[in-house]
Amino acid sequence: MSGSPELVLYTYFRSSAVFRVRIALNLKGLKSELRPIHLLKEGGQQHSDEYKRVNPQQLVPCLVSGGQAIGQSLAIMEYLDEIKPEPPLVPKDAMGRARVRQIALGVACDIHPLPNLRVLQYLKKTFGANDDALLQWQRHWIGEGLAALEQLLASDPARGKFCHGDHPTMADACLIPQLYNAKHRVHMDVSPYPTLLRIEEAAYQLPAFVTARPENQPDAE
């Protein structure tokens, strides 16, 4: 990793937000030291005083670079793109960049937060939601978000093998973990999203996406 600062990644194997960053690091060929934060053990290690000092938001991922901590997976991916521009995670043209960010944010802001652990815990604790209700909640918001992305991408002339063109971008780094979550965590029927599934198939041709999968992490259970 000569020329790049030392990187430490606070990670949890199941986290789809960390999965995004793992894909980005792999695409860039960047190595990082992994520090697992178990989101369930000990009431959630993300709430420990030690981790709160690293990331006051008490969420993973957090990347420490040159001693400075960065939270938020999109901020981290854009940072990685700036310290190591090749291969690029966003296109060179302004409209292409806007499109990639639209898709990435569509996942990261409008799908992912709703079925997130702390939201599910709050629904359970405060409103007494049972496991069935929580599953329905997750499937509803993920389904609504994926349906919108399917419609957007199916008719997008800029789409190629990947969300934007024939090379993976930050959009794919967000979409693929969300699809993984839909299929393997909440066991949804993803057949209504054929365009997204074709992109997923292309992504898993690349080792960067395969090695980033939750089951391939050292802290996987």
Ligand X SMILES: N[C@@H](CCC(=O)N[C@@H](CS)C(=O)NCC(=O)O)C(=O)O
Interface with ligand X, residue 105, by CB under 6 A: no
Q: Applying CB under 6 A, does 27 fall inside the site for ligand X?
A: no
- Give every CB contact of residue 144 below 8 A, 6+ residues apart in sequence: 111
Decide: helix, strand or coil at residue 165: strand
Measured CA to CA, the distance from residue 150 to residue 193 in angstroms comes to 6
Residue with the CB atom nearest ligand X in the bound state? 118
Rounded to whole angstroms, the Cα distance separating 38 from 29 reads 25
For position 212 contacting ligand X by CB under 6 A, the verdict is no
Our CB check for ligand X shows the closer of 116 and 195 to be 116
- Whether cis (ω within 30° of 0) applies to the bond prior to 115 is no
Interaction of residue 181 with ligand X, rule CB under 6 A: no
User: CB under 6 A: which stretch of 58-66, 142-150, 164-172, 206-214 binds ligand X?
Assistant: 58-66
Considering the rule CB under 6 A, would residue 107 count as an interface residue with ligand X?
no
* Interaction of residue 23 with ligand X, rule CB under 6 A: no
CB of 69 vs ligand X, minimal distance in Å: 12
Q: How far apart are CA 156 and CA 148, in angstroms?
A: 12
Contact range with ligand X by CB under 6 A, out of 38-46, 97-105, 142-150, 200-208: 38-46
| Contact indicator for 103, 163 with CB cutoff of 8 Å | yes
The nearer residue to ligand X, 32 or 46, going by C-beta atoms, is: 46
